[in-house]
Amino acid sequence: MRAVLATDADPTDPLRGLAVSDVDEPTAPLGWTVVEVRAASVNHHDLWTLRGVATPRERLPIVLGSDAAGVTAEGREVVVHAVVPEAGPGPGDLRDGGSILSERVDGTHAQRVAVPEANLVDKPAALTFAEAACLPTAWLTAYRALFACAGLRPGDRLLVQGAAGGVATAALLLARAAGIEVVVTSRDPGARQWALELGAAAALEPGARLPERVEGVLDSVGEATFGHSLRSLRVGGAVVVVGATSGPNPAAELHRVFARQLRVLGSSMGTREELAAVLRLLERSGLRPPIADTLSLEDAPRAYQRLAEGGVRGKLVLVP
């Protein structure tokens, strides 16, 4: 079958190790099954693999991709939960030693993928395969961060640092659907404008003073924004860290944390049950993930190049 592979890792030239080629058909151990992939989205996690961060070089070559929607041999239309267990049939949880597809086992950027049967969630008929394939990484991460970690409720306010990324976009749309007012920041005027079009109440430059303090902050930027995240919180508020693209070592500002009784939380991905909740929310609300483009599996290098260059508005989806 055809698949998109990481054959090598290079932190300065990640696309050098990207290849589309023939690979052996996947085999399913006990408790696993093979899914025919109908759509698979591209994430920055895939680029981190090619940079040598997400997957050690000794595990290469490996099939890339963590997100997929497809069909089982029995004709069941499913969405794949991307976290697989360290051992056993699953489902996996990163808190218990699990890993993301394409880190230890082959991923979803292929015609078929083997996954634990427990990782399968029924795809709602209202969602297309391409829409469903956008959800298991970015949207699941945002859902868990906002509702399970920060505990945000209708009527609260949220600051999203670094608008227009996959998790940031999902957080904006999920929060708006839940009745939460959203303010975003970005250095890119185009990203700020796009966030306003998606329903943000305000779109500001990084570090700008907010109209009002917020109950929660979603921060995927790290060093460059963490101090601003803390200063933007109301007493008792929470900043949920889901990434650190600008660096992992900000000043802690502990005096602000204890004096204002702030919570600093880390979150990554989510559970199978939370993915099912995301699917139900989209099915019932009519909310859909923005899709920037749909490309064939053979065009995967072009999709990866666009993601690496930045400026993509919405998800890039591969259709085998």
| Spatial distance between the Cα atoms of 271 and 35, rounded to a whole number of angstroms | 20
Q: Measured in Å, how far apart are the chain's first and last C-alpha atoms?
A: 10
Determine whether domain 2-134+289-319 maps to CATH 3.60.70.12: no
Per-chain mean pLDDT for the chain: 95
Which pLDDT tens digit goes with each residue over 140-150? 999 999 999 99
Domain segments of the chain as ranges: 2-134+289-319, 138-266
- Please check whether the two domains, 2-134+289-319 and 138-266, share a CATH topology: yes
- Residues paired with residue 34 on neighbouring β-strands, in sequence order: 114
Helices (H) and strands (E) in the chain, counts: 9, 18
Q: What is the model's pLDDT at position 164?
A: 87
Residue (of 256, 270, 189) closest to 226 by Cα position? 256
Q: What is the CATH number of domain 138-266?
A: 3.90.180.10
Residue (of 262, 287, 2) closest to 131 by Cα position? 287
Q: Is the Cα dihedral 65, 67, 69, 73 positive or negative?
A: positive
17: Cβ contacts below 8 Å, ≥ 6 apart: 6, 7, 8, 9, 10, 50, 60
Which pLDDT tens digit goes with each residue over 74-100? 999 999 999 998 766 666 677 777 899
Q: What is the model's pLDDT at position 88?
A: 63
How big is the chain, counted in residues?
320
Q: What is the model's pLDDT at position 87?
A: 67
Q: What is the model's pLDDT at position 97?
A: 74
Q: What is the mean pLDDT of each run of 10 residues along the chain (320 residues)?
A: 97 96 96 97 95 89 98 98 80 78 96 97 98 98 97 98 94 97 96 97 97 97 95 98 91 94 96 97 97 98 96 95
Q: Rounded to two decimals, what is the model's pTM?
A: 0.95
Q: What is the model's pLDDT at position 94?
A: 76
| E-assigned strand segments in 101-192 | 112-116, 120-122, 157-161, 181-185
Q: What is the model's pLDDT at position 158?
A: 98
